[in-house]
Amino acid sequence: MLLSLFALSCASTQDAVKPEPKVAEAMVDAGVPPAPEPKKPMVPPTRTQVIKETIHGLSLADPFRWLEDEKSPEVQAWMKAQDDFTRQNLHALPGREWLTKRYTELYYLDAISIPVKRAGRYFYTRQRKDKEKAVVYWKDEKGDEHVLLDPNTWSTDNTVSLGVWVPSWDGKTVVFAEKPNAADESTLYVLDVDSGQRSKIDVITGGKYASPSWTPDNKAFIYEWLPIDAKIPVSERPGYCEVKKHVLGDDPAKDEQLHPRTGDPKTFIGGSVSRDGKYLFISIMRGWNENDVFFKKVGVDKEWKLLIKGKDAKYSVDVWKDVFYVFTDEGAPNKRLFSADPKKPERANWKELIAEDKDVARDSFAIVGGHFAISGLKKAVSVVDVFDFKGKKVRAVELPGLGTASNLVGLEDDDEAYYAFSSFTMPRQIFKSSVKTGKSELWASVDVPVDPTRFEVRQVFYPSKDGTQISMFIVAKKDVVLDGNNPVLLYGYGGFDISLTSAFTSFIYPWLEAGGVYAVPNLRGGGEYGKAWHDAGKGANKQNVFDDFHAAAEYLVKEKWTTAKRLAIRGGSNGGLLVGTAMAQRPELYGSVICAVPLLDMVRYHLYGSGKTWIPEYGDPEKPEELKVLAAYSPYHHIVENGTYPQLLMMSADHDDRVDPFHARKFVAMVQHSTKGKGTSWLRIEMNAGHGGADQVAKSIESSVDQIAFLFSTLGVTPPTAAVTKSN
């Protein structure tokens, strides 16, 4: 019989102190009082409010709205009580010693990123076995390696993180971002590469959305700037973003404004300058489905010119030798490439260079080594193709297998390029390639202490509720037996045009080594099959995503991979919405849930954090018809009184400035209220961490141990007792 998580967490303590009945009787007869029963940790109480309101004709209850006010002393006390309660239970779970040892082996590694080449110098990040955070290095023309940015030294408690970093074209200066508590909010700094000294003048606050673009003279960069003003509501801040130009040595407060704020919090704005410095570009994004592109010829145009106004289409533009190249899904869900003359930029004058490929969902385009490099997915597996400037396909890059590859990374006029590749069973490798000849050689690889030959990846297809065929990767030991009794972890996302593909992650290996199965479906809402796939899972079509996920679970049960009681689900951010909805809609189908930094109150999501920027993806709660769609699945509003739900581990972060943690707090409170404290509904709060979690290796180990120990306990998995390495 599968014990409850609470029973398992207390079992070892009870067994140690509770004597056998006859022994207990003898102790009483001798006048020795029996040992007291150990106290079971109690679920912290949560008060309810009577809040029931009618919005656009819908009657909606919100008994835990008071938990939205994070600054309230009452909420702070509640958070501490919940986190303490959760960690007390997590620390009592079996298997933690083995998991800690295993994740220490898997996470403290030597690894390197794709290098960025600038004027003969190479810049890259390297994770060291003895460091908590990755370090940025640079290699000079002689091949000597130097430390450039080491965030391990920026704070005594390791709570200051490195964000974006961009070297100038001459490789002598780097602009980079510091992020307190691994949050999105950041400050830009400028560093002299040779001396390693920071400029005391070039310090720019408000770099939350900054992605700097250097001018060719290396004296200035274009960047996105967001004012830090407590008077501006957090939910309105995206609409205040401006594009500016900073000249090195000038007072940032006097930086030239290149484009004003849009005033629309549902938009993102981005700016860049062409490598030759002739053209400035502005992109205004409305969600993940459309954007407008403006340009200006430096020194010639006083006003911005509209290149294209997106209507349910996205455009990315690069320029080389006075020709604009436009990569778009306009009229082509799998994307195509156009050329445009800056002197005659009207859409009617564009020329199609590379037509859409119906079999490949293209995702990125680059000009490298005098060619076009276009990456994409064919049945959720990476392909990278090289074309000449006339649009003729030259070759497909020969990848090491079926997995996930980056596009080619390099310069427009340099034959040297790099790409990365990995799969579920192949750790990341980086290859150096000649664009002209197509020859590649291994440049760097990461040595991970696992034996991937013990495991295999299967790709299966299953029908969703409406008959749509959905692909899914399943990773398991080669000798797995389909007897309907395997513990399975089902991971999903399904949104924002993001693709889940076969890529290596150390997180899953202790689970696999313990006999677990890992499954990843390519849900609608993602980008695995192009724009149409994304459209089929956004807005009014969002229920398709949840139906695809439920169908994945049903397939795993039907095909004897597992049973509902031994099936766990995991997701974060939009994926947290996915698993929260799955838990609310089909509680009988899942055994346990790990939900991280999620959206769960879809009636009020737009009022906090970056919520308004997601309206094009989810819908607008202020509009009656769209509210009906959102309220129809909003997980917080569909937890019923006296319900029976899978066991829940909620992973939250105290400095998440993207998805407000109120979602996690309210949902946990609602589940605890529904189940009257029975079963499991735990809230774990990562301190000094943002939406992506803490970036210290030690904290990643602790988080992973908590999650897998939770799965071992809830799904009845016997933890291994010895480390599993390549040798065994």
Listing DSSP states for 641-678 in one string gives TT----EEEEEEETT-SSS-THHHHHHHHHHHHHHTT-
What local confidence, expressed as pLDDT, does residue 28 receive?
35
What pLDDT digit, counting tens, does each position of 223-246 carry?
999 999 999 999 999 999 999 999
Output the six-digit token pair for 656.
Answer: 């998440």
Sheet holding 290-297, edge to edge: 267-273, 279-286, 290-297, 305-308
Beta bridge partners of 378: 381
- What's the pLDDT band for 334 if we cut at 50, 70, 90? very high
Instruction: Please tell me whether residue 16 adopts helix, strand or coil conformation.
Output: helix
Whether 91 is catalytic is no
Contact, 279 vs 295, CB < 8 A?
Answer: yes
Instruction: Give me the mean pLDDT over the 595-619 stretch.
Output: 97
Q: CA torsion sign, 377 to 378 to 384 to 389?
A: negative
Taking residue 355's Cβ as centre, other Cβ atoms within 10 Å add up to: 11
What local confidence, expressed as pLDDT, does residue 678 receive?
84
Arithmetic mean of pLDDT over the chain: 93
Q: Phi/psi at 138 (nearest 5 deg)? A: -135, 145
Largest Cα–Cα separation, the chain: 102
What local confidence, expressed as pLDDT, does residue 722 receive?
60
Sheet holding 361-368, edge to edge: 361-368, 371-378, 381-387, 393-396
Q: At residue 727, does pLDDT exceed 70?
A: no
What local confidence, expressed as pLDDT, does residue 26 receive?
34
Taking phi over 0 as left and psi of -120 to 50 as alpha, with beta for the rest, 347 belongs to alpha
CA distance 293 to 259: 12
What pLDDT digit, counting tens, does each position of 50-71 carry?
999 999 999 999 999 999 999 9
Query: Active site residue: 259, 371, 534, 691, which one?
Result: 691
Which among 307, 309, 267 is positioned nearest to 288, based on CA atoms? Answer: 267
Contact, 487 vs 515, CB < 8 A?
Answer: yes
What residue type is assigned to position 465 of the chain?
K
Q: At residue 39, does pLDDT exceed 80?
A: no
**Which helix (H) or strand (E) element contains residue 385?**
strand 381-387
Output the six-digit token pair for 301.
Answer: 């145009």
What pLDDT digit, counting tens, does each position of 154-187 carry?
999 889 999 999 999 999 999 999 999 888 999 9
CA distance 223 to 214: 9
pTM: 0.92
Query: 588-624 b/e with 16+ CB inside 10 Å = b?
Result: ebbbbbbbbbbbbbbbbbbbbbbbbbbbbbbbbbeee
Q: To which residue do tokens 């398992």 refer? A: 8
Instruction: Please tell me whether residue 702 adopts helix, strand or coil conformation.
Output: helix
Instruction: Give me the mean pLDDT over the 679-693 stretch.
Output: 90
CA distance 719 to 514: 7
CA dihedral 443, 444, 450, 454 (to 10 degrees): -20
Strand blocks (E) in 218-301: 220-225, 242-247, 256-259, 267-273, 279-286, 290-297
Q: Residue 458, exposed/middle/buried by CB under 10 A (0-12, 13-18, 19+)?
A: exposed
CA dihedral 598, 603, 604, 607 (to 10 degrees): 110
Instruction: Please tell me whether residue 492 adopts helix, strand or coil conformation.
Output: coil
Query: What is the domain class of 52-104+450-715 according to CATH?
Result: alpha beta
Whether 573 is catalytic is yes
Instruction: Give me the mean pLDDT over the 571-588 stretch.
Output: 98
CATH topology for 112-355 is: Methylamine Dehydrogenase; Chain H (2.130.10)
Neighbouring residues of 466: CB distance < 8 A, sequence distance ≥ 6:
544, 547
Query: Active site residue: 382, 573, 634, 652, which one?
Result: 573
Instruction: Please tell me whether residue 364 adopts helix, strand or coil conformation.
Output: strand
CA distance 433 to 431: 6
List of long-range contacts for 429-436, beta carbons under 8 Å, 24+ apart: 429/400, 430/112, 430/113, 430/114, 433/397, 433/408, 434/369, 435/368, 435/369, 435/370, 435/371, 435/373, 435/386, 435/408, 435/410, 436/369, 436/370
Contact, 287 vs 265, CB < 8 A?
Answer: no
Query: 483-509 b/e with 16+ CB inside 10 Å = b?
Result: eeebbbbbbbbbbbbbbbbbbbebbbb
Output the six-digit token pair for 707.
Answer: 């999650």
Helices (H), 467-573: 509-513, 531-535, 543-558
What local confidence, expressed as pLDDT, does residue 25 receive?
36
Q: At residue 524, does pLDDT exceed 80?
A: yes
C-alpha atoms less than 13 angstroms from C-alpha of 211 in its C-beta half-sphere: 9
What pLDDT digit, counting tens, does each position of 247-306 carry?
999 999 999 999 999 999 999 999 999 999 999 999 999 999 999 999 999 999 999 999
